[in-house]
Amino acid sequence: MSTAPKSLLTEAVMFFSERGVCKEVLYTEFEALLDGLVATPEFADETIEAVFLQINNRLQVRAAVFFTMDFDMDGHVNRLWNMPLRQLAEKAGRGPDMGGGPIRLVCLGFTTAPQYRENLWKPGQRNGRADLALIKEAVNRNALGIIGDEEEAYTPIPADRLRVAAEDAWYDDSRGINEPETESPVKAESQPAVEAAIEDQAQRERDEHLKKIALYTRQILTLQESLKQAENRRLADLDQLRKDHTDHLNLIRGEMIDIKNELANQQKINASLRRELAKAQNRTSID
């Protein structure tokens, strides 16, 4: 009795630069990076865009979580960074078809875990190439050395099988990721529900954005009021300094006037004494 080999998923992380995929590691190496056992000096003091991937033995992407990571001056991961990448991938919604059926996708604007939204990014274009296409090419190159159980695993999937749907066609449901997308009446009937779900998510994001604007507005008003009070205190202190300086200057001027008057009186007394002395000398010489 024979059993079919169990399909395994290889977990990996790819890092992006402005040019495209710049570094690929298996998840075990990524864990060593998280534990601080190794550093990446090329990422020192940078915020890097990365993607967590689950890849089957046919070199097909089955799940992708697009996240960002902060690195310190030595190239170590920020110790406060903490994202459950595997759990996010397991609970992700259905995204575009990257050659092996719709993938499980988590990215900015497409997630069921809003608490991690600030650490997510949205795949787009760089150097005229789609990020999803760059990922697919990197997977096909198989620099990670993924070993397949079937001969087909060693055959790269043709580029024309990469059917990346537009963002507004990505949707979130609870069906398995291995189900192919086909045109059917059921899908057509579910389209309004999909559009409603997308609109609901967009409305939630708009509401959250408005709440943040209101919060920031209140904070700005509070800061402006604090700044106004500080300016008023500074002007009051400046006025008091000016008053103290004027009082001190008037006191000094009064003392100088007193000294001048006293000096003038003393000069008059001296002049009178000199006249008396001169008279006394004259009488003495006549005698």
Please answer whether residues 62 and 100 qualify as being in contact, where contact means their C-beta atoms are separated by less than 8 angstroms: yes
Residue boundaries of the structural domains of the chain:
10-181
Q: Which residue in 61, 59, 15, 58 sits closest to 40, CA to CA?
A: 15
Local confidence band at 276 (pLDDT 50, 70, 90 cut-offs):
confident
**Predicted confidence (pLDDT) per residue in 73-128, tens digit:** 999 999 899 999 999 999 998 998 888 889 999 999 898 888 999 999 999 998 88
Q: How far is CA 236 from CA 54, 156, 229, 231, 240, in A?
A: 66, 77, 10, 9, 6
Quick check: 195 pLDDT over 80? Answer: no
* pLDDT computed for residue 192 by the predictor: 66
Q: Which residue in 264, 267, 270, 266 sits closest to 278, CA to CA?
A: 270
* Amino acid of residue 279: K
Cα pseudo-dihedral 99, 100, 106, 108, rounded to 10: 10
Chain mean position to CA 178: 35
Cβ-count burial 9-34 (b if 16+ within 10 Å, e if not): bbbbbbbbeeebbeebbebebbeebb
* pLDDT computed for residue 213 by the predictor: 87
Count CB neighbours of 136 within 10 A.
23
Q: How far apart are CA 55 and CA 144, in angstroms?
A: 11
Count CB neighbours of 105 within 10 A.
25
Quick check: 5 pLDDT over 80? Answer: no
Q: What percent of the chain has pLDDT over 70?
A: 80
Please answer whether residues 28 and 142 qualify as being in contact, where contact means their C-beta atoms are separated by less than 8 angstroms: no
Quick check: 180 pLDDT over 50? Answer: no
Local confidence band at 185 (pLDDT 50, 70, 90 cut-offs):
very low
The widest CA-to-CA distance across the chain, in whole angstroms, is: 164
